[in-house]
Amino acid sequence: MTTFDRILPLVQKALGAKPQAVQRLPWLLINRDLNARVRLIAPSSVSQEDAQRTELLGLYQSLAAELGSHAYPVEAGILFEEQAEDAYQGARPFGLPGFDNVKVLDRLATDAHWESIANIAAGAPRFVFFSIKGGVGRSTALAASAWSLARQGKRVLVLDLDLESPGLSSALLPAERQPTYGITDWLVEDLVENGDGLLADMYATSDLETAGPIYLVPAHGREPGEYVSKLGRVWMPKVTGPSGRQSWSERLNRLINRLEQQHKPDVILIDSRAGIDEVAAACVTDLGAHTVFMFAIQGQQTWTGYQALFAHWQQRGVIRDIRSRLQLVAGLVPDDERRTEYLAALRADAYALFESTYDEVEPGKVSDWNFEEDDDNAPHSPLAIRWNRGWYGLLSLQQRMVQVDEAEVAAVYRALLNFFDRALNTESSE
Ligand SMILES: Nc1ncnc2c1ncn2[C@@H]1O[C@H](COP(=O)(O)OP(=O)(O)OP(=O)(O)O)[C@@H](O)[C@H]1O
Ligand SMILES: [Mg+2]
């Protein structure tokens, strides 16, 4: 039985068996549709030439025999288009290794493809707090970073994009300061051109003692309201005219740009959802992040998830677009004699993950994207956040933030805060 993961290897094998027939084609697309059934799309000129058409039919016949349920009946297995681009319809083709003139079109049911990496956003740098697993200390680290940056006088804009399990706002705001609306409300109202009216009432400033302000935009307002019904609509693309369509992450970008104009932050901190999820995809790939913090706790589940993401970025040929934005963070690092061993194991696994994204350097040449395992400035080198009793199982992180001082925050978050120092100071001297 042929299952999904065999599709591309079998396509490679079938095309590899008839290399000349493939080379004769100006281009060829492998269309893997929403049900993961495969068709070939070839130039219209081929359909008019008996010999080439017959050859292509033969090729699909042998491919279909291998693909089983993932193929179409042979007579319906080939489509023709004038231009390859006519078939794209929003999908972004990627190369099939070994064949210069063949590309794969992969149709997904979600808007989140994890494959088009937005350029770094102009304006204040955006730092995304992401992890594969939940509960690794992401939101707490974000709250501590916001506090610390604001203590230095920075204007900090914090967005809670963990829409499905929001909580960050309660970490930085006492209940009475919560605004009326949140990001979910804006995304729903924007669909009916009602979003701008919310902007004045969807943020609050923190009352922590800081030199610069912290503007916090929560996932939902003081009253979540019909949250489930609203959440079920936030992913909606917005139709903007006869042929216009704005994906939800484009809408989100528009919101962040508005908030940026409104609050003039020096830095934007974004609490992402965990996992290979649609909201997380927007945060990691679509928002023009300056840095994506990849929180990790040592264990197989962390690495399996990250490996799947990296493999996807490699396959789609975009790893070079994102690799310099990634930074590993070790959350909840044991604060006892296990610490050294734990971090060494985590570093080794992180290096195994990142190594394929580093350039291979020929003897005598240099590359600015090649790192040794023990290089502390490498993106795989974990910024360690210590597990600390004082930050564990808090009834109210907000109460905790009111009481902390620099030394307490630094004891746990120094590595992360130093990273911010380096990133923001380079930024301003550029
Ligand atoms: N440095 C730390 N030391 C000890 N406990 C911590 C530390 N940071 C966070 N915690 C605790 O770990 C738990 C998870 O933290 P947090 O909510 O910040 O994680 P998260 O990754 O944002 O989780 P979620 O995926 O649920 O949003 C909380 O109980 C928090 O108090
Ligand atoms: Mg969280």
Angular region, 188: left φ>0, alpha ψ -120 to 50, beta rest: alpha
Residue 410's nearest CA partner among 154, 144, 130, 156 is 144
Residue 368 CB contacts under 8 Å (≥ 6 apart), including other chains: none
Whether ligand 1 lies within 6 angstroms of the CB of 369 is answered as: no
Mutate-to-test residue for ligand 1 from 136, 140, 336, highest number of ligand atoms within 8 A of CB: 140
pLDDT digit string, tens, across residues 99-155: 999 999 999 877 777 888 899 999 999 999 999 999 999 999 999 999 999 999 999
User: How is residue 363 written in tokens?
Assistant: 């003897």
Whether ligand 1 lies within 6 angstroms of the CB of 394 is answered as: yes
End-to-end CA distance of the chain: 57
| pLDDT value at residue 427 | 52
Residue 105's nearest CA partner among 21, 7, 239 is 7
Ligand 1 atom, smallest distance to 133 CA: 25
pLDDT digit string, tens, across residues 304-339: 999 999 999 999 889 999 999 999 999 999 999 999
Whether ligand 1 lies within 6 angstroms of the CB of 138 is answered as: yes
| pLDDT value at residue 429 | 47
User: Strand pairing of 245-246 and 238-239?
Assistant: antiparallel
- Count helices and strands in the chain by DSSP H and E runs: 15, 15
Averaged pLDDT for residues 262-271: 97
Is pLDDT above 50 for 430?
A: no
Confidence of residue 167 (pLDDT cuts 50, 70, 90): confident
Averaged pLDDT for residues 343-364: 92
Give the Cβ contact number of residue 197 at 10 Å: 12
| pLDDT value at residue 280 | 86
| pLDDT value at residue 89 | 86
Q: How far apart are CA 267 and CA 140, in angstroms?
A: 17
Averaged pLDDT for residues 418-423: 96
Residue for token pair 């064949």: 99
Whether ligand 1 lies within 6 angstroms of the CB of 135 is answered as: yes
Mutate-to-test residue for ligand 1 from 276, 392, 399, highest number of ligand atoms within 8 A of CB: 392
Q: Computed over its alpha carbons, how large is the radius of gyration of the chain?
A: 25
Is pLDDT above 50 for 190?
A: yes
Q: Do 291 and 327 contact (CB within 8 A), yes or no? A: yes
| pLDDT value at residue 426 | 67
Q: Do 286 and 113 contact (CB within 8 A), yes or no? A: no
Q: What is the dihedral of CA 246, 250, 252, 253, to 10 degrees?
A: -140
Q: What is the dihedral of CA 260, 262, 267, 268, to 10 degrees?
A: -60
Is pLDDT above 90 for 301?
A: no
Ligand 1 atom, smallest distance to 413 CA: 1
Q: How far apart are CA 324 and CA 320, in angstroms?
A: 7
Ligand 1 atom, smallest distance to 335 CA: 3
Give, using CA atoms, the residue closest to atom 16 of ligand 1. Answer: 137
| pLDDT value at residue 395 | 66
Residue 271's nearest CA partner among 247, 296, 292 is 292
Low-confidence winner among 87-91, 116-120, 369-373, 425-429 (lowest mean pLDDT) = 425-429
Closest listed ligand to the CA of 413: 1
User: What is the average pLDDT value for the chain, to the nearest integer?
Assistant: 91
Distance 171 CA to ligand 1 centre (A): 11
Sign of the torsion formed by the C-alpha atoms of 96, 100, 104 and 105: positive
| pLDDT value at residue 278 | 80
Amino acid at 288: G
Give the Cβ contact number of residue 163 at 10 Å: 22
Is pLDDT above 50 for 384?
A: yes
Averaged pLDDT for residues 276-284: 85
Ligand 1 atom, smallest distance to 295 CA: 21
Averaged pLDDT for residues 36-46: 96
The CA-atom distances, in angstroms, between 212 and each of 10, 217, 359 are 58, 16, 40
pLDDT, greater one: 251 or 394 = 251
Q: Do 78 and 40 contact (CB within 8 A), yes or no? A: yes
Distance 272 CA to ligand 1 centre (A): 14
Which H or E element spans position 339?
Answer: helix 339-354
Which H or E element spans position 142?
Answer: helix 138-151
SS3 label, residue 373: coil
Whether ligand 1 lies within 6 angstroms of the CB of 140 is answered as: yes
pLDDT digit string, tens, across residues 201-239: 999 999 888 999 999 999 999 988 899 899 989 888 898
Q: How far apart are CA 274 and CA 271, in angstroms?
A: 9
Distance 160 CA to ligand 2 centre (A): 9
Confidence of residue 357 (pLDDT cuts 50, 70, 90): very high
What percentage of the chain carries pLDDT values higher than 90?
A: 73
Distance 10 CA to ligand 2 centre (A): 41
Averaged pLDDT for residues 164-172: 75
SS3 label, residue 79: strand
SS3 label, residue 95: strand
In degrees rounded to 5, what are phi and psi of residue 380?
-80, -10
Whether ligand 1 lies within 6 angstroms of the CB of 162 is answered as: yes
Q: Do 48 and 59 contact (CB within 8 A), yes or no? A: no
Give the Cβ contact number of residue 369 at 10 Å: 13
